Amino acid sequence: MIRYLTNRLMTMVLTLVAVSVLVFAIIQLPPGDYLTSYIAEIQAQGEQVTADKIQFLREEYGLDKPLWQQYLVWVTGLVQGDLGYSFEYNQPVADVVGERMPLTLLLNAATVLFIYLVSFPIGIYSATHQYSWTDHGLSFLGFLGLATPNFLLALILLYLANVWFGTSIGGLMAPEFIDAPWSMAKLGSVLAHLWVPVVVIGTAGTAGMIRRLRANLLDELHRQYVTTARAKGLSERRLLLKYPLRMALNPFIADLGSILPQIVSGSVIISAVMSLPTTGPMLLSSLRSQDMYLAGSFLMFLALLTVVGMFVSDLLLAALDPRIRLGVKGAR
């Protein structure tokens, strides 16, 4: 087990190193850099930029160094906890991200919890009551959730929340709490606004997970070992929880490494539509302006979520499925 964990951790480190090289290379692919965009913006406003000022800015931002030196500076800073300096915000990346990260983590955690709490009971019920009217109705709602664009659902729910509950449109809190210190009233405002983006972002994931869980569980329920266990007198509830459900959960645990970064990156459009103070719109802005340190830190954060999620999912799969043996070659 220790050898397996060591190998997995080494693989994670090598994967992150490879991803860091790819991220830095991709950010540098568009022509020019942040300074080029910045100078073009200044000139569009009618101001003149001298050659001396351009050279000074290149030295100030470290853009006069070769790419490999810029990469080493960035990676060394990441290892030491220094995420670099955001050119666009004129602040350290840690300060820029730190302002929005707590709300982002709260939104994503609530979305993941919503997806699992809603999809699992519905998926199990649909599989155990196949072709019933309830199954058909839930299947229709699932397809409707997959077909409805998230931005359209966001606009509808924002309107209904404002009309029915008086919730202010946009954001994760009422305007009077934006710059106010944290209090019970501010927390209540956040919770009152939180359900709309959680439902919008989680709808597509919930609908897809319901369909997959239903299909996987139906496949397990028709296997021979289920018939044998039922013939031995095992109760339906115990039979369902002890064998088929555990086997049907394997794909969902394996997807743990992808669901977290997908939620973080997939909520960019919704965050822009709903004016959410999360990291999604900031990521989009940093990619547009070629703010390399800010964009690179975001992408590395998504990569870290992926590799950590895959590591956790591997451990959970080994604990859940007795057919998986760690560190055993040629398992029978």
The reply to whether 332 falls in a domain is: no
Whether 47 and 153 map to the same domain: the answer is no
Q: Of the residues 41, 71, 92, which one is the last residue of a structural domain?
A: 92
The reply to whether 330 falls in a domain is: no
Compute the distance between CA of residue 100 and CA of residue 190 in angstroms, rounded to an integer. Answer: 14
Q: Which two tokens stand for residue 140?
A: 């229709």
Whether 144 and 267 map to the same domain: the answer is yes
Whether 82 and 105 map to the same domain: the answer is no
pLDDT at 332: 43
The reply to whether 165 falls in a domain is: yes
Compute the distance between CA of residue 39 and CA of residue 203 in angstroms, rounded to an integer. Answer: 42
pLDDT at 331: 44
Whether 13 and 156 map to the same domain: the answer is no
The reply to whether 326 falls in a domain is: no
pLDDT at 32: 64
Whether 118 and 85 map to the same domain: the answer is no
The reply to whether 242 falls in a domain is: yes
Whether 33 and 176 map to the same domain: the answer is no
The reply to whether 328 falls in a domain is: no
Q: Of the residues 66, 92, 118, which one is the last residue of a structural domain?
A: 92
Residue 191: give its domain's CATH number: 1.10.3720.10
pLDDT at 325: 52
Compute the distance between CA of residue 45 and CA of residue 66 in angstroms, rounded to an integer. Answer: 30
Q: Is the pLDDT of residue 209 over 50?
A: yes
| 175: three-class secondary structure by DSSP | helix
Whether 109 and 132 map to the same domain: the answer is yes
Indicate the number of domains in the chain. Answer: 2
pLDDT at 146: 73
pLDDT at 323: 62
pLDDT at 251: 72
Whether 166 and 74 map to the same domain: the answer is no
Greater pLDDT, 132 or 99: 132
Q: Encode 17-63 in three state secondary structure.
A: HHHHHHHHHHHHCCCCCHHHHHHHHHHHCCCCCCHHHHHHHHHHHCC
Whether 114 and 179 map to the same domain: the answer is yes
pLDDT at 104: 78
pLDDT band per the 50, 70, 90 thresholds, residue 61: low
Whether 167 and 75 map to the same domain: the answer is no
Share of the chain above pLDDT 90, in %: 0
Structural domain harbouring 152 = 99-290+301-320
Q: For residue 330, count other CB atoms closer than 10 A to its CB.
A: 5
The reply to whether 116 falls in a domain is: yes
Whether 103 and 75 map to the same domain: the answer is no
For 253-298, the pLDDT digits (tens) are 777 766 766 666 656 667 777 777 777 777 777 777 777 778 888 7
Of the given ranges (218-232, 282-296, 301-315), which has the lowest mean pLDDT? 282-296
pLDDT at 265: 60
The reply to whether 219 falls in a domain is: yes
Whether 48 and 112 map to the same domain: the answer is no
pLDDT at 49: 64
Q: Of the residues 57, 92, 127, which one is the last residue of a structural domain?
A: 92
32-37 contact pairs (CB < 8 A, 24+):
32/290, 33/63, 33/290, 33/292, 34/61, 34/63, 34/87, 34/88, 34/289, 34/290, 34/291, 34/292, 35/61, 35/63, 35/87, 36/290, 37/289, 37/290
